[in-house]
Amino acid sequence: MTNRPLTTVNYEERDGKVSWLGVSMLDEGKFHKFLSEEAGPRVEDAEGAEEFETHLHGLTSTDFGNESLKAVLAAAVSEERAWAVCEAIAEAYLSREHNVTWPWNMERDKRNPNASLPGADLIGFKVEGSSSRLVLGEVKSSSEDRYPPQVMNGRSGMGHQLDDLAANLGSICQLLKWLLPRCKNTEYEETFNKAIALYLESGNKAVVLFGVLIRDTQPNVKDLRKRGHSLAENLKEPTTCHLIAIYLPCALCELSPRISGGGS
């Protein structure tokens, strides 16, 4: 957490274990600095085909073909950058304002491809004094002139995904099994252990959920309020949930070039 204030609060409400908060970036200068120093390093350069060479080469030992796979892995994915930047902003913001750490910098294009199986955009730990909690989060972005925007609703909407995460123990355990080798023997091992201990002791409920909505519109409490109330009905102690809308001083479509160009 840094001491420099970055945002100003537009609205803040709470219903039981769920809080929702709207913040605007204070000014262009600070945002620029934030983007280049905090969010930017979290966005890796898109990789080329060479990175996959070893995997493709190894495949020959299985007697399976690699032609189609080669083509797919070599192709660049155009949509990827904008999402990556929004997630980087969310991660950097949560690190700074909520003391969340990220053991694993996940590239979006290599996420769990099987939609029916569990996954989360953000997986990290919230350190609170000597204890720590597992953080799971979803990130959405929208320029839509509707409050709330459609990304908040429906099966693939943020609300549903958060409900799913909170309700589906199996998927969280599966995430933990996946996360374990990434923390084992790293600086995150202790944090991971503490979070798991708390999680198991709480009957698999001590999780902090974050839903981050990145907007380039005017702040509006309606973006989050309805979703906040409905989540409050479903979540059980000691699960907590924070919905955060970040209102940017620039258009969403400008983000990617600004990051690539060092924020200018």
User: In angstroms, rounded to a whole number, what is the distance separating the alpha carbons of residues 238 and 203?
Assistant: 10
Distance of closest approach, residue 14 Cβ to other proteins, in angstroms: 29
Q: Which of residues 152-211 bind other proteins (CB under 8 A)?
A: 169-170, 173-178, 180-181, 184-185, 189, 192-193, 196-197, 200-201, 203-204
Question: Does 108 sit near other proteins (CB under 8 A)?
Answer: yes
Contacts of 225 by beta carbon, 8 Å cutoff, 6+ apart? 13, 20
Instruction: Read off the DSSP letter of residue 156.
Output: T
Question: Does 255 sit near other proteins (CB under 8 A)?
Answer: no
CA dihedral 26, 30, 32, 35 (to 10 degrees): -90
Question: Does 80 sit near other proteins (CB under 8 A)?
Answer: yes
Question: Does 109 sit near other proteins (CB under 8 A)?
Answer: yes
> What binding mask, one character per residue, do residues 47-76 give for other proteins by CB under 8 A, x or -?
----xx-xxx-xx-xxxxx-xxx--xx-x-
Q: Is 158 exposed, middle or buried (0-12, 13-18, 19+ CB in 10 A)?
A: buried
Report the b/e string of 7-16 with b at 16+ CB within 10 A.
beebbeeebe
Instruction: Read off the DSSP letter of residue 219.
Output: -
Distance of closest approach, residue 57 Cβ to other proteins, in angstroms: 10
Residues that bind other proteins (CB under 8 A): 51-52, 54-56, 58-59, 61-65, 67-69, 72-73, 75, 77-80, 83, 106, 108-115, 117-119, 169-170, 173-178, 180-181, 184-185, 189, 192-193, 196-197, 200-201, 203-204
